[in-house]
Chain A
Amino acid sequence: MRTSALWRDVRFWRFAGQAIAVIFVLFLLGFLWANLNRNLAQLGIRPSFRFLQSQAGFAIGESLIPFQSSDSYGRALLVGLLNSLLVIVTGIVVATLVGVTAGLARLSSNWLVRKLALIYVEVLRNTPLLLQLFFWYFAVFLSLPKPDNPVRWLGFNFSNNGITLPGGLQLSPEFSALLLGLAIYTATFIAEIVRGGIQSVPKGQWEAAQSLGLKPAQRMRLVIFPQALRAIVPPLGNQYLNLAKNSSLAIAVGYPDLYAVASTTFNQTGRAVEIMVLISLTYLTISLLISLLLNLYNRRVQLVER
């Protein structure tokens, strides 16, 4: 029996490769952890989440639950989380509506509509969201007339005090700027996804729908769109995730979302590690939840084969 050298054995290399990876990662984490402990000890900080119970001492502009500055940091962060969730959910709804409309407009038989949709997508997709948020907030909302003389459009009242919906619901200028900025930016990506999805439906489906005597709107709604959804839903989910993550730019327009409140908390308490852990876990949970819901929906729209 011939024994081959150890280094010629694939099994040895498989084991060695994994062992090296484990040692490398453990060494790196240990190195960072040791430095962190040493540096924190030098600064006299002991990591602990007890600060969450102490009094926040700052006011929050808008809140879904009652909050005053004598409440705790923990409650302040909860207010921030709820504000984040509010803008994420409404943002997803508005972005989907605008995005699907723009995506259909990109395929319109009307040349002007097609070109306008193209300009919308190419201009807003190629400029930074943060800059757009600054623009919406400072150049649009804060430059609008005073609330007693608002700009009226389709039952909406626009003023430097935000948007008043037809039902009388008042949105703050910070929330309005963030919502519009997020939705209109994300919608450009959704529009391209919708266009691609519809174009991926074979031509025969159009012809078959036409030969069944369906009207153009019915063709789209009953035959083409359900099939296009199969190609649309997975990348659409990525855009929803992006929107959720981008909602953390709220701090740029002064909307008190989770990150903004956490940032204020950090400035007051100096607890970088704990706040980093809290923010990371929360955003990871939100991301996971969105992917989970989308996977469930995706299973429903995918083709069920015999």
Chain B
Amino acid sequence: MTSKPLPRPSRSSAAIRHWLQRNLFNGWFNSLLTIGLLILIGWTATNLIRWATTQAQWIVITTNLRLILVGRYPVDQLWRVWTVLAIVLGLIGFWVSKGRGQKAKDRKIEEQERAGAEEQGSQEDFDIASPSSPVFLLSRLHPITLLPLAFLLILWLLGGGLGLPRVGTNLWGGLLLTLVVAIISTVLAFPLGVLLALGRQSSLPVVQGFSTLYIELMRGLPLIGILFMAQMMLPLVLPGQPNIDRVVRAIAGLVLFNAAYLAESVRGGLQSIPRGQTEAARALGFNLPLTLYLIILPQALRIAIPAIVGQFISLFKDTSLLALFALLELTGIARSILAQPQFLGRYAEVYLFVGLLYWAFCYTLSMLSRRLESSGGSNHSRHTTR
């Protein structure tokens, strides 16, 4: 049952035979297991291929591909979706290249330190002396502050108004709606989650009590119940019985829910910051908000990134619940396609294809988060030992 890191099979046939013997045929039980599984795999694969090539009618996907990707978004306005995609890819590219640049800079500093030029390096880093001067604070602003701007731009492009023709949210659908809802809910829930996490870690009993109560309440309830509350109760608890858009109500529910979970991810990061960091900041004359903003949160959030990405993945999957509230996101549009009379009963084709889309996104993200975890971890240890 032990799993040792096994050598990859090399080219020579003796090595291949050795690898097979060690990994597939060590002992009678494993040999039997291997043969049995091979038969099972072969049987499943042939049946699956036979089904996919002869019985399945993939025309249900090809006819409805546009519906699955963007819903009923007007065809002559689709360039706006493409522009948004370009902006998002551009932002990701910028972020990745900046991350690379930061790493290169870190490496340079490390080399300088090793060369004994410690003073130079540290002087370069802290040339603005007073920690509360506005210039210093601005210089520490993360490019993440660009995000709200990009965010508004994207919403304007998708929704219209101010010169562009309006496209109501009832026309958004498919993968587009899934992504929009998941991203907006995470962006809006993030500040709330950080506040809740800080609140739960606070030394003020009242603040801690309220934060803990909120987090535990939300985590004890099923998401479907919270979405129900957002759909039915939100118009009731706001003044003047406003007629709120269904998508907005759904996003409100997801934000309230997701904030509690994000708070727990961030709290994990906060708890891993040694007390010495707070004490050192106080010794340097930082007050509490500055300590949190400049010392604690940057470190805690970096440590929490994998957990936050994990939370985003589960939110991305959770948006499928909106299908139960008559929204046509990826799962909802799948159901509405299956309601078309000419495609009745093509469940397997549609659900497999939509599942593949979800899987591609979630798997890519989880791989990314795993890579961040391994690289971020070493980075963190370097910082704490310095």
Contacts and interface: CB of A to CB of B under 8 A. Distances in A.
Contacts of B30: 109-110
Interface in A1-53: 14, 17-18, 21-22, 25, 32-33, 35-36, 38-40, 42
B336 interface: no
A110 B241 contact: no
Say what secondary structure dominates the interface of chain A: helix
A111 B222 contact: no
Nearest to B345: A143
A211 interface: no
Nearest to A38: B239
A216 B33 contact: no
A113 B37 contact: yes
Contacts of A123: 359
**Which of A22, A131, A224 gathers the greatest number of chain B CB atoms within 10 Å?**
A131
B317 interface: yes
A220 B2 CA distance: 10
B224 interface: yes
Contacts of A112: 24, 33-34, 37-38
Contacts of A273: 233, 236
Nearest to A245: B222
A263 B229 CA distance: 11
Nearest to B226: A280
Nearest to B225: A279
Contacts of B359: 123, 126-127
Nearest to B203: A14
B347 A139 contact: yes
Nearest to B37: A112
Interface stretch (B89-97, B142-150, B350-358): B350-358
B331 A134 contact: yes
Interface residues of B, number: 61
A135 B223 CA distance: 21
A36 B241 CA distance: 9
Interface string B19-45: 000011010001001100110010000
B289 to A, nearest CB: 11
B87 interface: no
A109 B34 CA distance: 11
Contacts of A284: 217, 220-221
Given A112-B34, A206-B2, A251 B324 contact: yes
A127 B314 CA distance: 9
Given A126-B362, A128-B358, A131-B354, A109 B324 contact: no
Interface stretch (B63-71, B76-84, B205-213): B205-213
A17 B37 contact: no
A135 B351 contact: yes
Interface in A111-146: 111-114, 116, 122-123, 125-132, 134-135, 138-139, 142-143
Contact of A131 (B210, B229, B348, B351): B351
A272 B347 contact: no
B32 to A, nearest CB: 10
A126 B222 contact: no
A60 interface: no
A39 B229 CA distance: 15
Contact of B207 (A18, A108, A251): A18
The 7 A-B residue pairs with the shortest CB-CB distance in the complex, in nearest-first order: A126-B362, A111-B23, A128-B320, A245-B222, A18-B206, A139-B347, A128-B317
Given A131-B351, A246-B222, 13 more contacts: A17-B207, A21-B204, A21-B210, A109-B3, A112-B24, A116-B41, A127-B359, A131-B331, A131-B354, A134-B347, A220-B1, A280-B221, A284-B221
Interface of B: 1-3, 6, 23-24, 26, 30, 33-34, 37-38, 41, 202-207, 210, 217, 219-225, 228-229, 232-233, 235-239, 241, 313, 317-318, 320-321, 323-324, 331, 334-335, 338, 345, 347-348, 351-352, 354-355, 358-359, 362-363, 366
Interface of A: 14, 17-18, 21-22, 25, 32-33, 35-36, 38-40, 42, 104, 107-114, 116, 122-123, 125-132, 134-135, 138-139, 142-143, 206, 216, 219-220, 224, 245-249, 251-252, 259, 263, 266, 272-273, 276, 279-280, 283-284, 287-288
12 contacts: A17-B204, A36-B233, A36-B236, A39-B235, A107-B2, A111-B23, A112-B33, A116-B41, A128-B358, A251-B324, A276-B228, A276-B229
